[in-house]
Amino acid sequence: MRMRDDPFDFAGLLCARLCHDLLGPVGALGNGLELLALDQDPAMRRQTLELMTSSSAAVAAKLKFFRLAFGTGGDMAQRLPITGVQTVINDFYALRPNIRLGWVVNGVDLPHPMARLLAVFAMLAGDALLRGGDLDIAVDHTGPASEIVVRAAGERIAFDAEHRLAMEGGSVPYFDTRTVPAQLAARLADRFGMTLQISPPESAKLLLGATAQS
């Protein structure tokens, strides 16, 4: 899809990304209902119910994460508890056991836009870890300034030039559901006066950071 400033195109891509990520667990719930209707074996029904419970938890975790990352409302004066943000991100990545999360937190809350940006960074960094790896998150909000850093380290990291251009607010010839979170990061930073940092392309690790006065 060609890059535009049209908010309808942008909103459509965010919705497409959300639907794509929810398709798996929602489809599993549908399959489970079909199996329950057809299979009367008690052992099979118990197994099916366990799978449906797992799929339901996955849907809930993803919806909470997307509500944080893609939701609206809030300004730099509104705060979200860091523990709540941690729980949302931890639950989201519990669905990907090949990614190991680490946290370093200073402070008790974050400005709402920075909490959103942190979730977007976590999504981008997780997407870049094609074969899993370490996802380390640092949050510092102990004074008038706030800082967040997300670091991805793994066997293979995929964060191409289009992602970088989108985060830097550059003109990307084509963008899709893979790169739309990077554009969202740029839009959040521009709207709320946050400064973004990205590790250089030659770096063995991916670092995404942001600072802001709150």
CB atoms within 10 A of CB 210: 23
**Closest to 22 in 3D by CA, of 70, 55, 69, 68:** 55
* Measured distance CA(5)–CA(98) in Å, rounded: 36
Q: Is residue 1 over pLDDT 80?
A: no
Tell me whether residue 21 is in a domain. yes
For 138, the token pair is 């640092």
Tell me whether residue 44 is in a domain. yes
* Measured distance CA(151)–CA(136) in Å, rounded: 5
- Cα 105 from chain centroid (whole Å): 18
Amino acid at 186: A
For 200, the token pair is 């250089």
Question: How many domains does the chain fold into?
Answer: 1
Q: What is the CATH number of the domain that holds 81?
A: 3.30.565.10
For 87, the token pair is 């729980």
Q: Print the domain residue range for 51.
A: 7-213
Tell me whether residue 85 is in a domain. yes
139: which strand partners?
Answer: 105, 148
Place of tokens 């521009």: 190
pLDDT tens-digit series, residues 128-155: 999 999 999 999 998 888 999 999 999 9
Mean pLDDT of the chain: 88
pLDDT tens-digit series, residues 93-135: 999 999 999 999 999 999 999 999 999 999 999 999 999 999 9
pLDDT tens-digit series, residues 141-193: 988 889 999 999 999 999 988 899 888 876 666 668 888 899 999 999 999 99
Return phi, psi of residue 172, to 5°: -100, 120
* Dihedral sign (CA 153, 158, 161, 166): negative
DSSP for 150-202, written as a single string: EEEESS-B---HHHHHHHTT---SB--TTTHHHHHHHHHHHHHTPEEEE--TT
DSSP-derived letter for residue 5 is -
Amino acid at 89: I
Residue 170 in contact with residue 10, Cβ under 8 Å?
no
Tell me whether residue 172 is in a domain. yes
Identify the helix (H) or strand (E) that includes residue 124.
helix 112-128
Look up the pTM and report it: 0.89
CB atoms within 10 A of CB 1: 13
Tell me whether residue 157 is in a domain. yes
Tell me whether residue 1 is in a domain. no
